[in-house]
Every structure is written in C-alpha cells, then in structure tokens.
Amino acid sequence: MKVFINFAFFTFFAISSFAQTKVHSHNDYAQSKPFFGAYEAQADQIEADIFLIGDSLIVAHSKKEVDPKNTLNKLYLDPINFLFKKNNGKVSANRKYTFSLMIDVKNDWNAVYPVLKREIEKYGNVFNRSKNKYAVQIVISGNRPADSTFHTYPNWLFFDGLPNISYAKNDLARITMISANFAVYSKWKGSGYIPRGDSERLEMIVKQARELKKPVRFWGAPDTEDSWLNQLQLGADIINTDKVERVKHAIKDFKVKR
C-alpha cells in the first residue's frame, strides 16, 4: 500500500476523526452486487441514479443503459424493506447501523417527484427518520427543485447541498451534506500530494461547509489510496468511492498507522 502522507498528518487527526469518516458508495448500481455489496461493507451512503421511464423509476448511469427490469423498487427499495421486516424495524441486526440512500435524479424533477413520492411512501416509516430513527434517509442529488423550496417537501425528503450557495435557514435544515465536483478545483490524478494551489481551493470548500455545520464530500476525485488520504487531510468528511470495502479497510489501516 502506497502512503505519501507524513507522520504529522496522522498525529493531527484524533482517532475519533477517522471513526467519523463516512463512506459513500458512488454509482452503486454498477457494482457486482448492487446494494448488497455496499450494505455488507456498511457503507454510510449508497447512491443510485434514476430515470423516469413511463411511470417507473429505472436505475441506470445513462439513458442508453436503461433496462426496464432495473427499477428503483427492485434494486433498492424492496431489499431495504425486506431487511426492516427481517430485523424488527431496523435495517440491520447491528442496532447502530443505518445509511442514507442518495437518489441522483436524471430527468426533470417536477416529473420525477410525484412518482418518487408515491413509491417511497408505499413503505411507510422505512424511509422516514422523523418517525423511526433507524430509517434509511432519502437524499436527492442531480436535478433538484429550487433550493428555496427544500423546506416545503415531506419530512422524509432531504437534499444534497452545493458549494457557494447562500441557503435560507429552513432550507439548510433539509441539506445533509455539501457535495463539490473535485475536478472543478483540481486536475490532480491521485498519486502523491495534491498541488498546493489546488488544495487551497479545496480547503475553501471545506471551510464553507464547516461554517454551515455540514459534512463535505468531493465527488469525481481520483479513487486511489493517496486520494483518500489527501481528502482526509483536507478535512473531507465523506469519501466518495467505487471501492467501498477497500476504503473501509484503508481507514482502519490509517488509524493503526497513526
């Protein structure tokens, strides 16, 4: 395993910092075991892109990859509901474990929302943390409504926030994190250190998120061990990855090496 971060980095972060680091399963549906692989690795966030096809929500990375069999219900909502029944109102036998399901909306929000609302509400409190603290939280990314309307949606629905936006207090309360496109701030390829100028720009995003009291996630960052370490050093709270199990193990290794 390559490690380029020096010892000072490890002494800077308390063990609790690593313990609080969350792992986001990016494009989870493209994995060899959609949902279950991330679930078994206890990912903190699991992401599914959706397209509205007719009256169904289909999980796919792009419209050309749409397969009518891969509905949001079949790949995610039904398995989660099954787990709640199996574990007596919790998603896992581990009482401390739950996660967020990020739904990245690829079509017009106003067309998708009525269908999404209908499907989510079929499952009762499985997706409503205001009614069940063990519920799976629904977070919307991609095509979202105007941020000034976030507070008007049902209390089971939350949103992925963006940097450089001044959110009203009641709308900010519905945001679970600030997500920024890494490539906007850096072209670094994931080996060694992030160039200083790039890291300063990324640190500004972290600072903004801290001021809002929200965790920060960089999507589109290189998915390498050096990148995960660099992101932690910058203060990222959530590691966006296609390699959930490896990131989980890497974070444990970082704690040991500290």
Burial 31-57 (b: 16+ CB within 10 A, else e): beebbebbbebbbbbbbbbbbbeeebb
Number of domains observed in the structure of the chain: 1
Domain membership of residue 225 (yes or no) is yes
Here the CATH number for the domain that contains residue 209 is 3.20.20.190
Task: Inform me whether the pLDDT recorded for 21 exceeds 80.
Answer: yes
Domain membership of residue 25 (yes or no) is yes
Domain membership of residue 131 (yes or no) is yes
DSSP one-letter code for 83: H
Pair type for strands 137-142 and 157-161: parallel
Q: Rg (Cα) of the chain, in Å, rounded?
A: 18
Mean pLDDT value across residues 206-233: 96
Lowest average pLDDT, out of 9-13, 33-37, 55-59, 196-200, goes to 9-13
Domain span at residue 163?
A: 7-257
pLDDT tens digits, one per residue of 39-66: 999 999 999 999 999 999 999 999 999 9
Domain membership of residue 1 (yes or no) is no
Domain membership of residue 2 (yes or no) is no
pLDDT tens digits, one per residue of 186-201: 999 999 999 999 999 9
Give the whole-angstrom CA distance, residue 191 versus residue 201: 18
